[in-house]
A and B are shown apart, each in its own frame.
Chain A
Amino acid sequence: MIYDALFAPFAEFTFMRRALVGGLALSISGGPVGVFLMLRRMSLTGDAMAHAILPGVAVGYLLFGLSIWPMTLGGLIAGFAVALLAGLVARVTVLKEDALLAAFYLLSLALGVTIVSLKGSNVDLLHVLFGSVLALGDDTLLLLAGISTITLAVMALIYRPLVLDTVDPGFLRSVSGSGTPVHLIFLALVVLNLVGGFNALGTLLAVGLMMLPAAASRFWSADITAMIGISVLIGCLSTFGGLLVSYHVSLAAGPTIILAAGTLYLVSIAFGRREGLVWKLFPSPHLSA
């Protein structure tokens, strides 16, 4: 019974197993990236950048059809271009990054959808916008696993300066010139994960497995390391739960994964050990010193 509900779908169907592996890979790298996006107050930046990759993907699609490598490459180029541009402009001028990205976001979405509809059918458009997590090929899985691995390695490399650049950028500037490069490397990781997420979840939901678990983790811990772990865990649970629900109830898989993450986010807001709403209603007595 429990086996039927929880494990049989994955044991029985290859496409479910592939979806699970792809989603887990995305969750593992999306966790740390999402937590830092949130702590650097760039939650909406991630969303905007997810849209910024769309025109690149669309050009790849226009030239080569629904094929993973050209679309991924196009997305990477567009994403890096926008991220570097926005990052540099924000660091060098008085313009704030969010103002720039808000403009890019609208422009990119409109441009991307226009390019896709030049050639494609509505099915292709749906694939680009919402992904196809139940149709992950070998290439896509390798891409997702590769992105996950690179992300974890690079995050380990830039962890200390990234934390310092977020908490106390003035201090980091006074001891080291690594602030700007670290910021740009981090933006590159964001793009990489969004392009990965795009393959499974589409441009509109790619950011979901990054931001929702990260935002939820804040309600469970006040320690950055623990928050990263918790957000990875929430991402993995969402992937697992979302796929199962979508299988049993016949819902679209990608959106259901994001809905599962959203549900865990709402649960965290309500019951989270730190500042959860329920705990605020029934506060524990304060300590004596």
Chain B
Amino acid sequence: MAASAVHFSDLTLGYDRYPAVHHLNGIVDAGSLLAVVGPNGAGKSTLLKGLVGTLKPLQGTIGLGSIKRQDIAYLPQAADIDRTFPLSVFDLVAAGNWHRKGLFGGFSRADQHAISDALMAVGLGGFENRVIGALSGGQLQRALFARLLLQDARLILLDEPFTAIDTKTTADLLALISRWHGEKRTVIAVLHDMDVVKQHFPQTLLLARETIAWGDTVETLRPENLLRARRMIEAHDPHAAVCDRAA
């Protein structure tokens, strides 16, 4: 049996006391490749924010076992990157070394090669000295994947990594995700494209604030589950009473 990487127990995450993820329980096995799907507002991004630690649970806990902050790499949805900032692609990707370099650590020849290799791996070889403002949306996303490569993390969180990305780039980046899976890293990706999920992700969590289904992808994505997820989201009550569900 595989060890667990992440353990949700009665987890409620939310904003202004309104739950976005409600009483979530479950275990993500170490080395698993998990897709998180669900309608807009289902709490998918919120779940990742909880995992990375930028959002504190309203209730319950997220158990990360031996995984520490520096073992987590997180690619937010449409990363809020200031692309007018005068920074080179090299420097952006080099930030993936944060945990090893900190404030002052110098970059050796080997480190520079590692950065160039990472750029090569995402199809951006030779882009080191371009400014980030000159990259297209897809190229920027590739550069951010290169940064993820350098972070060398045990738990990788991707929030809609393929939104507005063309098929070729998506295929290349999916190959990287498969590589991470092969290296026994745990990958959790929020996705909307069901075809991508079915083809590449063995496990799926269907979320609609609450768990609708979680497990084998084909089982989870059955039409009745998807319908139930959609109904769940539409039932929003602005005057909701305090939740008294027992843990």
Q: Which of B29-37, B75-83, B169-177 contacts A (4 or more CB under 8 A)?
A: B75-83
Is A174 a contact partner of B54 (Cβ separation < 8 A)?
Answer: yes
Contacts of B56-83 to chain A: CB distance below 8 A:
69-70, 72-74, 76, 79-82
Q: Which of A7-15, A158-166, A193-201 contacts B (4 or more CB under 8 A)?
A: A158-166
Interface 0/1 of A197-234, CB less than 8 Å to B? 00000000000000000000010011110010000000
Contact partner, B87, options A167, A170, A171, A218, Cβ 8 Å:
A167
Contacts of A156-189 to chain B: CB distance below 8 A:
157-161, 163-164, 166-171, 173-176
Residue of B81, B87, B88, B99 contacting most chain A CB atoms (<10 Å):
B87
The distance from the CB of B221 to the nearest CB of chain A, in whole angstroms, is 29
Q: A168-B80, A168-B82 are in contact. Are A173 and B88 (CB under 8 A)?
A: no
Is B76 a contact partner of A222 (Cβ separation < 8 A)?
Answer: no
Is B86 a contact partner of A221 (Cβ separation < 8 A)?
Answer: yes
Is A222 a contact partner of B95 (Cβ separation < 8 A)?
Answer: no
Count of residues in A whose CB is under 8 Å from the partner chain:
24
How many B residues are at the interface, by size bracket? 20 to 34
| B52 beta carbon closer than 8 Å to chain A | yes
| A39 beta carbon closer than 8 Å to chain B | yes
Neighbouring A residues of B69 by C-beta, 8 Å: 175
Contact partner, A168, options B81, B102, B103, Cβ 8 Å:
B81
Interface of A is mostly: helix
Neighbouring A residues of B147 by C-beta, 8 Å: 171
In the bound assembly, the distance between CA atoms of A163 and B86 in angstroms comes to 10
Is B82 a contact partner of A170 (Cβ separation < 8 A)?
Answer: no
Contact partner, B81, options A161, A163, A167, Cβ 8 Å:
A167
Chain A residues packing against B (C-beta within 8 Å): 39, 157-161, 163-164, 166-171, 173-176, 218, 221-224, 227
Known: A223-B86, A224-B86. 6 other contacts (CB 8 A): A169-B80, A173-B54, A175-B69, A221-B86, A224-B85, A227-B86
